[in-house]
């Protein structure tokens, strides 16, 4: 019997598995759940591709994708409740509401689950780290520059956003307004801000409303992948191509035809694959104890290098990249 125990112990050492009370246990895989704003959104499908890439590099990690059918906090709360019951290791989430998710996210963290918000953040009390795809000020000034280019430097512009509670959208719009208040963009006038709730049909209707109620409108700025595509379609359907342009943040694969038909001159986005990849690596480092998420800490994130944790436990991945007719075909095949 003693000889058998020695054999089992040796096997455990060789195979890298745990030995407890005379039984050999295989190491449990780390379970990371990516919770997105809504199911079927191509931006988040690309982010999930990045998460799977990261999981493959880590080994012994299972990563899953989930999200509500409509982009609501209530839908995400229900999903997080389920993930707590499933005892996942970490939740990587793009929040539909920064404050409404804090109580349920706190409950998850009290159960030992690491919570990393990305893209659209949870308020500080409800997550370990917030990964911003870019700095809000850089996004705001980028949107102002894109709008100015599309308008020829002067004219009326309007914003078509996602939900009125979306953390990232509101920050970017705030920085856009700051940029518009400077002398560089003094000839641009923001005449309206509307919300399409990141739903294609509602975003389309809101864009149509802007086109019909603001006859001098030159540009619609949509800092949302759903909104920018819906607005571009609205411009084409209203036969406003060449009179009104759409810009903002979107996916090359969805906007290639709109760049080709002239409803969009240029737009910007960070790579969602890199965003999902980075957020998943950060969650993994927290789960394994290789990172704590403290101010000034640089967390290793695979091919993205070290990601620095700043004030309010927020980190920045990179600045937005501009797409136009000169490069969109190349990137449209990627995401």
pLDDT tens column, 87-98: 999 999 999 999
Q: Compute the distance between CA of residue 252 and CA of residue 232 in angstroms, rounded to an integer.
A: 13
Which residue range is the domain that position 236 belongs to? 136-269
CATH number of domain containing 69: 3.40.50.2300
Whether 43 is in a domain gets the answer yes
10 falls within a domain: no
For the segment 294-326, what is each residue's pLDDT rounded down to a tens digit?
Answer: 999 999 999 999 999 999 999 999 779 999 999
**What pTM does this model have?**
0.77
Assigned domain for 328 exists = no
Residues 224 and 249 placed together within one structural domain of the fold: yes
At 334 the pLDDT is: 81
* Phi, psi for residue 126 in degrees, rounded to 5: -110, 15
261 and 146 together in one domain? yes
Say whether 310 sits in a helix, a strand or coil.
Answer: coil
Residue 167: the pLDDT is 87
Same-domain pairing of 189 and 314: no
Look at residue 195 and tell me if it is in a domain. yes
Are 108 and 49 found together in one domain?
yes
pLDDT of residue 76: 98
Residues 262 and 284 in one domain: no
Residue 98, classed as helix, strand or coil, is coil
Q: Are residues 298 and 314 located together in one domain of the fold?
A: yes
Q: Indicate whether 116 pLDDT > 60.
A: yes
Residue 309 lies in a domain: yes
**What are the residue ranges of helices labelled H in the chain?**
2-15, 42-58, 73-86, 102-110, 136-151, 167-180, 200-213, 225-237, 252-261, 272-288, 328-332
Task: Specify the number of domains making up the chain.
Answer: 2
Residues 116 and 92: beta-carbon distance below 8 Å: yes
Specify whether 77 is located in the same domain as 169: no
Average pLDDT, the chain: 91
Give domain status of residue 56, yes or no.
yes
237-246 tens-digit pLDDT: 999 999 999 9
Q: Is residue 290 part of a domain?
A: yes
Residue 329 lies in a domain: no
Q: Domain check: are 264 and 156 in the same one? A: yes
Q: State whether 168 and 249 are in the same domain.
A: yes
Q: Kindly indicate the confidence band of residue 232, based on its pLDDT and cuts at 50, 70 and 90.
A: very high
Final residue before a domain boundary, out of 269, 300, 326: 269
pLDDT digits (tens, 9 = 90+) for 144-178: 999 999 999 999 999 999 999 998 899 999 999 99
From 250, 269, 288, the end of a domain falls on 269
Same domain, 98 and 178: no
Predicted pLDDT at 178: 98
241 and 144 within one domain:
yes
Task: Please tell me whether residues 194 and 229 are part of one structural domain.
Answer: yes
């Amino acid at each position: 019997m003693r000889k058998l125990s020695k054999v089992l112990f040796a096997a455990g050492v060789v195979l890298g598995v745990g030995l407890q009370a005379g039984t050999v246990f295989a190491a449990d895989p780390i379970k990371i759940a990516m919770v997105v704003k809504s199911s079927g959104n191509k931006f988040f499908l690309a982010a999930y591709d990045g998460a799977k890439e990261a999981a493959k590099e880590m080994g012994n990690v299972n990563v899953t994708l989930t999200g509500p059918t409509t982009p609501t906090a209530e839908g995400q709360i229900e999903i997080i409740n389920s993930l707590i019951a499933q005892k996942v290791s970490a939740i990587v989430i793009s929040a539909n509401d920064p404050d409404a998710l804090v109580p349920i996210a706190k409950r998850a963290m009290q159960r030992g689950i690491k919570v990393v918000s990305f893209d659209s953040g949870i308020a500080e009390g409800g997550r370990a780290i917030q990964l911003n795809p870019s700095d809000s000020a850089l996004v705001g000034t980028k949107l102002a520059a894109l709008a100015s280019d599309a308008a020829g430097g002067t004219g009326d512009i309007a914003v078509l956003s996602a939900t009125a509670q979306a953390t990232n959208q509101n920050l970017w719009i705030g920085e856009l307004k700051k940029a518009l208040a400077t002398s560089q963009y003094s000839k641009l006038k923001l005449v309206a801000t509307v919300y399409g709730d990141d739903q294609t049909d509602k975003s389309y209707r809101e864009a149509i409303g802007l086109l019909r109620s603001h006859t001098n409108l030159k540009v619609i700025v949509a800092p949302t992948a759903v909104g920018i595509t819906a607005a571009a379609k609205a411009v084409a359907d209203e036969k406003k191509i060449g009179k009104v342009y759409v810009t903002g943040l979107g996916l090359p694969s969805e906007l290639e035809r709109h760049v080709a038909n002239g409803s969009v001159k240029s737009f910007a986005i960070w790579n969602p694959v890199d965003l999902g990849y980075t957020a998943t690596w950060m969650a993994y480092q927290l789960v394994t104890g290789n990172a704590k998420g403290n101010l000034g800490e640089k967390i290793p994130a695979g091919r993205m290098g070290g990601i620095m944790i700043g004030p309010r436990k927020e980190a920045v991945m990179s600045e937005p990249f501009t797409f136009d007719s000169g490069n969109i075909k190349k990137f449209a095949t990627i995401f």
